[in-house]
Structure 1
Amino acid sequence: MKNVLGSGDHGWTRMNADARLGRSVVPFDLRSVFICVHPWFSPVHRSRPIKRLLLLAVLLLPVLVHAQRTRVTGRVFDQATGDPLPYANVVFPGSTVGTSTDTVGFFRLNDDQHRDSLRVSMTGYRARTIALKGAVDQGLVIGLDPMHVELHVFEVRPGENPAFAVLRQVIARKPFNAPERLDAYHYTSYDRVRFDLNHFTDRIKKNFLLKPFDYLWDGIDTTADGVRYLPILLNEREEEHDYRRDPRSEKRVVMGTKAYKFFRAPRIMEFVEDMAIEPDINEEQVTILDRSFPSPINSHFQQYYRYLLDDTLRACDGYICHRITFRPKHIGDAAFRGEMLIDTTSKAVVRVDLAFSIEANINFVRNYWIRQDRAPVAEGPWFVRSSQVIGDFTVIENSADMTGFFGRRTSTVSDITIGQTREEAFYKQVDPVIVQDSAALRNDAWWRTVRPDTFTVEERDLVTRVDRMAHDPRWQRREGLLHLIGEGWQPLGPIDLGNVYTFFSTNPVEDQRVKLGLRTNDHFSRTWRFAGHLAYGFGDARWKGGLSGAVQLNGPRRQRTLIGAEYLDDMLQPGRSASLLPLDHVLTSFVRLSGPDPRWYLRATSAYVERQWPAGLAVRCGSVDQRISAPDVGFFRVLEGDTTGGATVTLSGVRLGARFAFGVKDLDADYTTILRGLFVPRVPIVSLEILLSGGGLGTNAVPMQRYRLKVEDRLRTPPFGYLDIYAEGGLIDGDVPYPLLHFPNSDPLLFNDVRSFNLMNFLEFAADRWATLQLEQHFEGHFLDRIPLLRWAKLREFVLAKAFLGSLSAANRNGAFPLPDGLSDARDPYVEVGFGIENILKVARVDFLWRLTDRDHAGALPFIVKPSFYFRF
């Protein structure tokens, strides 16, 4: 099948496309032609030589034309690793005919002229020129040698790599070439993001979810390299950008936004928004898909990259430019591969190509490529004028046939004005992103005026198809099934039925528990929300339930006001984190490992008013009334020396809450809410809650004040990944029964919880003054990627430490409600440490945890191994 040439051919391999079926793939040769025309050469026809010659020319014409054509197919790969090379340049030298390899390294190139050679090149690799046979369809398998050998040569010679001198000049000129040195500027940007399903076969048409929708497949097309794709989503956005240097202010005004899709997918829309973020190579680190990449013009560029400076200058967009190629210093590093064109006069980057592929420890990415074109304004600074992004995503990155999708983004910048500022009130707005009230309501006529180009035929067809799918009842039923599996709720018109995973569970108090819940959805109202549930425990023979309602009032500039109320009569578990499985989830019945399983009855009513700002600020004020009791005999209480049972603890008063995370959308002020999303916010999250109880709504309410504050943040620590920080502190002022004390989040369950103490049991510690600190350093494979046998698995390592410090006042330690056995304060800090491996099969994490203190407590486990599951890049 293959004819492997010797070392003199520089390692590339030639393979005949006809699989050795013959020296030529021409379907007939000249002898067959002469046999066909043989009667014309008989003596009978010798009198008509001109006619014979004309006919002979006509018969030979297809053969001659075929002989002139050049057809080449093949695959390009990394000679060192064997990995396919996407987007390599393949051209016929001396012509304008060329192409690029696809995402798995394949190409096809045709020309009507005879070509005797083929040239293959790619950033960071030695170019190859291959001799071609004439009049033969040829298949080639071409290996390119990485240029790290040449780069290494530069390092060992006296002096230094000549690219370094150019890069130092670029870095030194960054402040002058950056737009931020201007007093003010304004520009308009248009972004278009499209997702295409790719690498699928006809079997997908028989899939239960998609089988009825024949019209969906009308949009199938094929790339030049033979990859089938189907556009399924389109999003466009028009924005205005304003900058003022002193006092510094940056604002984005969203003038219009529109999404064409047939599925509800908030995570996908997060992905769309992340692709629309323009990376700034003037920064030290560039964040893409929640991963940090060092900029190729980073101040410490030698630490991350190997560079090669072309020995000749070239023309680029009217400038004379240096060309510098770069690649990661170590295989597997989260760093770019690409090239820069640098203006020799201003030392500004005219064009930059950034790419990473399956070699980088990033999930679900076959390849990712960014191109930015820059141009200066008269005042000197350079602006990004246009950019392109192409991503190839799939579940299994190194499979060329696994179904995935292309993500494509194009962006253009126009109407740049320098030195003009807006009115002061505009800059004083807190919101960094200002969304016009009419942004989502723009009509087609408006969009036609702002688009820099018209929709392609594919894109127009996509708009028609997705609209038809979105209104197809058959698809709506299937989408409901997907939400039932993923979220546990089944849509039934304007009502959702669920959560199916809580329909049945068991616990020590209720024994067997059944539950049914209902809630409204967008088909009922986008303004009003109602929810309720009814449950029954067979062990305690007691009904439980809850009912809640809320109305959302939209104000100007995307400000929202929520007014809500709730009644709840159900069970609670002290010290249970909101990020754990729901208390009545069916799995909770089976996954507890150690310690007690306390459950109390809670009867609560509350009402609140909350205001949310797009700047990332939410404030809530509300009333709260709670009555907590224990099963069977209730809480024990000491009165005049006698201990009695049946006591109920009552709390009634006002609760104030606030949360701030600059620029984060849809933030609420509930202190216990866990922010969930595809990407972690790039800013600290600060939450505050104040509870004032006594008198008010409850006649027997405990007089007390509780204050608590927490901060969550992620610090990038390149090249060693990132550090997650969680810190909380609080105090309770007043003499309170122990059910109202603070219980640290505990997790004695089988699965790891990142915000809990995973070796602490429920009701093990309590405090009225406390502090919690949790640190997790994620190395993102920095060390494991250095091990060749493990690199392919893309495993990532991390270490962690968690501590809790809490104390009890004498009055609360020896109060009227005696502390149950095993419950104490933590004057000496409780500490657990561990390490772990994450990204196992891209969705799993395993923690190895040690408890360092209080190991003599009843039911305490000194060591445990816990799994958990998640989705992230």
Structure 2
Amino acid sequence: MKKKVNFFSRCLVLMLVFAPFIQVFAQKTVVSGKITDAGSGDPIPFANVMFKGTDIGTTTSFEGQYTIETSKRVDSLVVSYIGYITKTKAVSNTVQKLDFQLEENVVNLQEVVFVAGENPAYEIMRNVIRNKDKNDKRSLDAYEYETYSKTEVDVDNITDKFKKRKIMQKIISVMDSVERMAGEDGQPILPIFISESLSKTYYRNNPKLKYENILKTKITGVGIEDGTLVSQFIGSSFQEYNFYQNWLNIVSKEFVSPMADGWRLYYDYDLTDSAYVDSDFCYRLDFFPKSEQDLAFKGTMWITKKDYALKQMDATVTQTANLNYIEKIKIQQELAPTKAGPWIPVKNRVLLDIGEVTENMAGVLAKFYTSNRNIMVDDPKDQTFYAQPIKIEEDFNINNGNDFWNEHRHEPLSSTELNVYKMIDTLKSIPVVKTYTEILKVAINGYKKVGKLDIGPYLNLYANNTVEGHRFQLGFRTNIDFSDKWVLGGRLAYGTEDEQFKYQAFVENIIDRRKWTTIRAEYTKDIDQVGLAAEDLMGNYIFLAATKFGKLIRPYRYEQAKLSAQRELFKGFTPKLVFNYKTFNPLYNFAYYTQPGPDAPLATAFKTSEAIVEARYAKDEVFVQDDNNRISLGTLKWPIFTMRYTRGLKGVLGSDFNYNKLGLNVFNDLKMGFFGTSTISITGEHVFESLPYPLLKAHVGNESIFYTNAAFNLMNYSEFVSDTYVSLNYNHYFQGFILNRVPLMRKLKWRLLATANVIYGQLSDKNLALIPPNTITGEEMPPIHSFQKNKPYVEVGYGVENIFKIIRVDFLHRLNYLDNPDVSNFGVKISFQFIL
């Protein structure tokens, strides 16, 4: 018995000694998982994760991942983040995986209240501004890195009503798998596009030049082909945002950065935390726009204590901002220092949430992710290296299978993203989806692709006017499937009233894509109008098509042969050479004296041969290549200069005149922050010799009810003609700068605008002398007006855009030349536009 007592005593002593260790081992709790947005499925970085009732917590990584552990007995885990509803889940005291999907908290911005004394966030912000130049990557002499980009586009907000639509009935089986993909708390989404790209990005500071070389792309989408245009837009150049800039351009709008020089004018700040983020001790600043309707952000940024550099950023623009269709824009960023000091973003995530246009439609989510690595600094290349801002390797879509991407992705695809590829392939095979996407592509491009041909443009299929009666037209052009060097095209039209065929044929050779060198030859036989010529209205296709309807003003038949060549000699500078032969055969009462004086013989038709030299300079213009086309995305800052000299060659191919013309245009897009944006175009031209007025400048008028920037909107068609003129076209878009301050207007999201069109011109006495009086030809001739000396033509306007999101109304005032026949000093014109 004594031995038994001793045995149990020893066991008891051992249990007492090891009890703390046994307890620790038994109650060790380790929880890991991922925090995502319930609406988009995107990770939520920097979210707070804590065991309930303890001070044990952590934050999620940029990928939304977390791991947290404790030796204490706990029963639940709490996840919270600014802008989201806090969520709690039960935990077991063991090792487990626990994912959270947080729903957005749609509430008004909080009001920040401070007690007496200065807001402690202000001193941090002042230091951030003082150190901007030191920390901004643009202060580096040069930098380069490898970029991996990933883009996904999904249909979201899929309601039961939307599911009942005919097209959706065809894809219900796909929808079932989509709902399973969304997660236990997530909203169902329907992926329609996913892409990946690998590129090298290069930047040089002096002069400021940038170049992206896209090495490989992989694109899968409904109605999307793996073409050069899409491949350029999925590169890193269009997903780069630098918060050290005062203003960030997003979806063509200017948003003020929370790190702007004038930060106190736009934002309130709150210092909410300080902690180590990786190895950097950081301050957490929450920021809120002073006005909910302004194009500004709310969110959180982590600022390092040592350098006052931006370590992490989470910035969101909500649907309270004055934007159309867009419910949310979210930008998340993680930065790392370079060996030279300035910080470079190493991970970026952008979310664009586009709401339903109507109640019967779903919304769209666009998600962009970029990762940068292998960063090198201060090794600038020669300036010629940056000549082409975006270049795609010729084999960009060859040998880009799973083996390549598994090796070169900066991080593996998630299981959801792998399923996206499979789901899109399934959608593309559904016949009704194919039909709808083809209709949409025709509506956007104006052409229907049929093998190696594009048929169209459909905007010009039909017209009806006083000369041709019913006009029917059909055209084509070859696409890149035919050749990436040669483009052939043409069109054929027929009028039922004049019983005449009209046609055009052209051939173009793309000699060099890098320096964009082309040669083009074309021949045209058609009808046009003085002052409304197609060459003068290029880019205004809807207005040009509208001028083919109704009564034609000063119509004429012409035949034209044109040969042109152009080459970008260096970045931004493109000269162009043109030879142009054209005949003029009027279809209205027209004549001109062949020499000044009433006794000179009259003529009605003429021929011209011209040699034209044009030079265009746009310092920081960005282009993308759409198969065999080159598309300008405008300039970032500098104006565009275009100069043209024309020499008329008498005797060449029967030309009737020698003459010289010199013209200049300056165009600039001015971004003014919260004050809005302006566009300004100044044009001047001088004709040195005496010519019939159709060869001078017949200024574009507009007698329709529709507004257009291509015309003087209260001027009649061809009302004025000049041989020397200077014109100004100015448009200012206030965005929400003024009407955001009016409660009702703020709710409607209407926006003010202002316009001014001014022209100062003259028609010399020698040119006036070539115009015969009405009595000579025996029938009334349309009057030609000239501007009076020192009296410019002026029309000004104001208006409201964004009515029902698509309607613009302009109220216009003509200030002078009111004695001219059939003119008005006031007009109201409308137009339709899809703007954000």
Q: TM-score, normalised by structure 1?
A: 0.77
1:733 to 673, 688, 692: 688
Q: Residue 578 of structure 1 aligns with which residue?
A: 538
**1:449 and 2:449 aligned:** no
Contact persistence 1:579–1:674 (CA under 8 A)? no
Distance 2:748 2:51 in 1: 38
1:406 to 346, 350, 365: 365
Q: What code does the residue aligned with 2:460 have? A: T
Distance 2:153 2:393 in 1: 26
2:488 to 530, 544, 559: 530
Q: Residue 8 of structure 2 aligns with which residue?
A: none
Q: 1:178 to 1:480 in 2, by over 3 A?
A: closer
Contact persistence 1:561–1:612 (CA under 8 A)? yes
Contact persistence 2:797–2:810 (CA under 8 A)? yes
Q: How does 1:584-603 map to 2 (within 5 A)?
A: 585=545, 589=549, 597-603=553-559
Distance 1:613 1:224 in 2: 58
Q: 1:86 to 1:629 in 2, by over 3 A?
A: farther
Contact persistence 1:738–1:817 (CA under 8 A)? no
Q: 1:834 to 1:315 in 2, by over 3 A?
A: same
Distance 2:674 2:753 in 1: 14
Distance 2:462 2:785 in 1: 31
**1:172 and 2:134 aligned:** no
Tell me the secondary structure at the aligned position of residue 806 of structure 1. Answer: strand
1:647 to 604, 623, 629: 604
1:328 to 289, 292, 299: 289
**1:481 and 2:439 aligned:** yes
Contact persistence 2:191–2:423 (CA under 8 A)? no
Q: What code does the residue aligned with 1:559 have? A: K
Q: 1:419 to 1:512 in 2, by over 3 A?
A: closer
Tell me the secondary structure at the aligned position of residue 323 of structure 1. Answer: strand
**1:430 and 2:397 aligned:** no
Following superposition, the deviation at residue 831 of structure 1 comes to 0.7
Q: Residue 551 of structure 1 aligns with which residue?
A: 509
Q: Residue 857 of structure 1 aligns with which residue?
A: 820
Q: 1:548 to 1:181 in 2, by over 3 A?
A: closer
**1:703 and 2:652 aligned:** no
Q: 1:706 to 1:406 in 2, by over 3 A?
A: same
Q: Residue 381 of structure 1 aligns with which residue?
A: 342
Contact persistence 1:637–1:644 (CA under 8 A)? yes
Q: What code does the residue aligned with 2:820 have? A: H
**1:348 and 2:309 aligned:** yes
Following superposition, the deviation at residue 219 of structure 1 comes to 5.8
Q: 1:771 to 1:259 in 2, by over 3 A?
A: farther
Following superposition, the deviation at residue 447 of structure 1 comes to 3.5
**1:821 and 2:777 aligned:** no
Distance 2:623 2:130 in 1: 37
1:303 to 236, 256, 265: 265
Q: 1:730 to 1:470 in 2, by over 3 A?
A: farther
Distance 1:87 1:797 in 2: 39
Following superposition, the deviation at residue 446 of structure 1 comes to 3.9
Tell me the secondary structure at the aligned position of residue 673 of structure 2. Answer: coil
Q: CA RMSD in A?
A: 4.0
Contact persistence 1:215–1:465 (CA under 8 A)? no
Q: Residue 29 of structure 1 aligns with which residue?
A: none
**1:566 and 2:542 aligned:** no
Q: What code does the residue aligned with 2:833 have? A: Y
Distance 1:183 1:502 in 2: 51
Distance 1:581 1:189 in 2: 38
Following superposition, the deviation at residue 753 of structure 1 comes to 0.3
**1:187 and 2:142 aligned:** no
Q: Residue 700 of structure 2 aligns with which residue?
A: 745
**1:230 and 2:190 aligned:** yes
Count of residues paired in the alignment:
751
Following superposition, the deviation at residue 477 of structure 1 comes to 5.1
Q: What code does the residue aligned with 1:766 have? A: V
1:256 to 216, 221, 237: 216
Q: 1:318 to 1:408 in 2, by over 3 A?
A: same
Q: How does 1:860-871 map to 2 (within 5 A)?
A: 860-871=823-834
Compare 317-326 and 210-219 and name the one that shifted more. 210-219
Q: What code does the residue aligned with 2:613 have? A: L
Contact persistence 2:215–2:396 (CA under 8 A)? yes
Tell me the secondary structure at the aligned position of residue 791 of structure 1. Answer: helix
Q: Residue 353 of structure 2 aligns with which residue?
A: 392
Q: Residue 65 of structure 2 aligns with which residue?
A: none
Contact persistence 1:231–1:459 (CA under 8 A)? no
Q: What code does the residue aligned with 1:222 have? A: A
Distance 1:711 1:411 in 2: 37
Contact persistence 1:527–1:553 (CA under 8 A)? yes
Contact persistence 1:290–1:680 (CA under 8 A)? no
Q: 1:784 to 1:161 in 2, by over 3 A?
A: same
Distance 1:476 1:358 in 2: 32
Following superposition, the deviation at residue 406 of structure 1 comes to 1.4
Distance 1:693 1:140 in 2: 69
Distance 1:804 1:467 in 2: 56
Following superposition, the deviation at residue 757 of structure 1 comes to 1.0
Q: How does 1:262-341 map to 2 (within 5 A)?
A: 262-264=222-224, 276-310=238-272, 312-341=273-302
Q: Residue 721 of structure 1 aligns with which residue?
A: 676
Following superposition, the deviation at residue 285 of structure 1 comes to 1.1
Q: TM-score, normalised by structure 2?
A: 0.80
Following superposition, the deviation at residue 142 of structure 1 comes to 8.2
**1:690 and 2:649 aligned:** no
Q: Residue 6 of structure 2 aligns with which residue?
A: none
Gap runs ≥5 in structure 2: 1-36, 39-43, 61-72, 91-101, 774-780
Q: Residue 472 of structure 2 aligns with which residue?
A: 514
Q: Residue 158 of structure 2 aligns with which residue?
A: 200
Q: Deviations over 1:668-718 (max 9, x none)?
A: 9xxxx99787x8866533333322211363223311122222222211112
Contact persistence 1:501–1:586 (CA under 8 A)? no
1:623 to 579, 587, 592: 579
Q: What code does the residue aligned with 1:240 have? A: K
Q: Residue 564 of structure 2 aligns with which residue?
A: 608
Contact persistence 1:633–1:646 (CA under 8 A)? no
Q: How does 1:97-112 map to 2 (within 5 A)?
A: none
Distance 1:141 1:713 in 2: 40
Contact persistence 1:506–1:586 (CA under 8 A)? no
Q: Residue 30 of structure 2 aligns with which residue?
A: none
Identical aligned pairs, as a percentage? 26
Distance 1:469 1:618 in 2: 44
Distance 2:725 2:631 in 1: 23
Q: What code does the residue aligned with 2:606 have? A: V
Q: 1:565 to 1:278 in 2, by over 3 A?
A: same
Q: How does 1:6-45 map to 2 (within 5 A)?
A: none
Tell me the secondary structure at the aligned position of residue 131 of structure 2. Answer: helix
Following superposition, the deviation at residue 283 of structure 1 comes to 1.2
Distance 1:253 1:605 in 2: 39
Contact persistence 2:303–2:309 (CA under 8 A)? yes
Q: What code does the residue aligned with 1:323 have? A: R
Q: How does 1:731-810 map to 2 (within 5 A)?
A: 731-810=686-765
Distance 1:372 1:730 in 2: 50
Q: What code does the residue aligned with 2:348 have? A: S
Q: Deviations over 1:355-378 (max 9, x none)?
A: 111011112211111111122234
Following superposition, the deviation at residue 252 of structure 1 comes to 3.2
Following superposition, the deviation at residue 91 of structure 1 comes to 7.2
Q: 1:495 to 1:413 in 2, by over 3 A?
A: closer
Distance 1:329 1:387 in 2: 26
Q: What code does the residue aligned with 1:502 have? A: N
Q: Residue 843 of structure 1 aligns with which residue?
A: 806
Distance 1:682 1:441 in 2: 36
Q: What code does the residue aligned with 2:611 have? A: V
Distance 2:103 2:459 in 1: 55
**1:93 and 2:93 aligned:** no
Q: Deviations over 1:152-208 (max 9, x none)?
A: x45xx4x43221111111110112222344444332222211111112246666756
